[in-house]
Amino acid sequence: MHCYLRLSPICFLLVLGGCMTARVFNSKGKEATDGNEWSWCNAIPHGARRGDTVVPTLSQSAVVSLLPKYQGSAYEQTSWSSAAACRITSINGIPVHNLNDLADACAKVANLHKAAKIGIEKSGDDGQSSPMIEVDENKLLAVLQVAAPEEPVVRINADGNQWVVIRQDDVRCELMVRVERRLGLVHVVLCPGLCWGSPRVLPVDIRATCGGAPLACLSVADTLRLVYGGDAGRRADAIAPPEACSYQTVSERGDFLLPSNYRELQDAADQAMKRSKKALPTPAFASVPGNSYPGSPILGDARALSGFMLQRRVYHAGEFAKAGWVIFSGEAVSRCDEVRIIIDLGLGPQELALSLSGK
């Protein structure tokens, strides 16, 4: 995950790439699947260009606004063209060939919390030496935000994960989705942020559909019940009212982050484990492949969900950004090949399509 929005390092711990499988039992002490496994798989975004195929250009207006010290050409303040004026060639000496390179370089420089030097090349000046323009951290994020303006939605590969980066004026949001088909869970990891401008509440709303069917947005207690409550925890699509499908509505509930059913589920699981005498299963969320969790999986997931579930809040330009989770569920996830995420960052709903792997 890139840190050009100053992502907290702890968020790396619970963002998984590829597929993760583990033995799991419900509170009845029975193995929860015929295959005895969780089966988390990433949803693969489509319909957006890969960042490594996008040239990191800056429009003439961006050069005038963000890089007034650039002396490579005599830009006029009144000339606001959408045509590419120049190409970014390096950040602090790190070569930049595409948008993926630019994101990587900005992530490395942002961790230093120092001014950066941007190398740029005027269109048509291939091979000539690039002037180096010094900018502060916030200006560097702004340059990343406006680079390649013709591609407002791109796919960035980081550590084997496919992130979708949405850029809308001064708002930026990185998003990744994974699914657990047996339970019909859609786990959205997103990191919204503001690059400049006035503070505002983000995100406005998020919804999800699968095969045209709306998915229910879950609270912490809803998620624990679905994962550890056995068949009684299942929620049928037909009984989820429209308001239950809106992240904006569900996340404003007073109990959204409360694992209010933890003790009930834990007591039932403790009794079931005594009867079955099986080893503790792996948590659904609080786990990293190759590492065992040192305690109750229900407690681990309750803590993880309470700590990472995203609530809407006011964001300020340039602030330290933290990734958060939004969980959806629906029976359709177990049988469909595509999930759609509809996210509103302030300019109206934007739909993203992702293919479901691991079917």
Q: In terms of pLDDT, which residue wins out, 143 or 70?
A: 143
56 and 41 within one domain: no
317 and 190 within one domain: yes
Averaged pLDDT of the chain: 81
139 and 191 within one domain: no
Q: What is the pLDDT of residue 63?
A: 85
Q: Residue 78: which pLDDT band, with cuts at 50, 70 and 90?
A: very low
311 and 193 within one domain: yes
| Domain-embedded: residue 3 | no
Q: How far apart are CA 93 and CA 109, in angstroms?
A: 11
Q: Residue 350: which pLDDT band, with cuts at 50, 70 and 90?
A: very high
278 and 312 within one domain: yes
Q: How far apart are CA 52 and CA 55, in angstroms?
A: 8
The parent domain of residue 121 ranges over 51-146
| Domain-embedded: residue 26 | yes
Q: What is the pLDDT of residue 266?
A: 94
pTM for the whole thing?
0.84
Q: What is the pLDDT of residue 241?
A: 81
252 and 105 within one domain: no
Q: How many domains does the chain have?
A: 2
Q: In terms of pLDDT, which residue wins out, 262 or 318?
A: 262
Q: What is the pLDDT of residues 89-101, one digit of tens each?
A: 999 999 999 999 9
| Domain-embedded: residue 204 | yes
Q: In terms of pLDDT, which residue wins out, 109 or 300?
A: 300
Q: What is the pLDDT of residue 232?
A: 54
| Domain-embedded: residue 310 | yes
Q: What is the pLDDT of residue 201?
A: 96
Q: Which of 115, 146, 177 is the last residue of a domain?
A: 146
pLDDT at position 14 over 50: no
Residue-level length of the chain:
359
Specify the range with the lowest mean pLDDT, choosing from 43-52, 56-65, 225-234, 340-349: 225-234
Q: What is the pLDDT of residue 143?
A: 93
Q: Residue 129: which pLDDT band, with cuts at 50, 70 and 90?
A: low
178 and 210 within one domain: yes
132 and 100 within one domain: yes
Over range 46-62, report the average pLDDT: 91
- Most confident residue range from 40-44, 69-73, 287-291, 297-301: 297-301
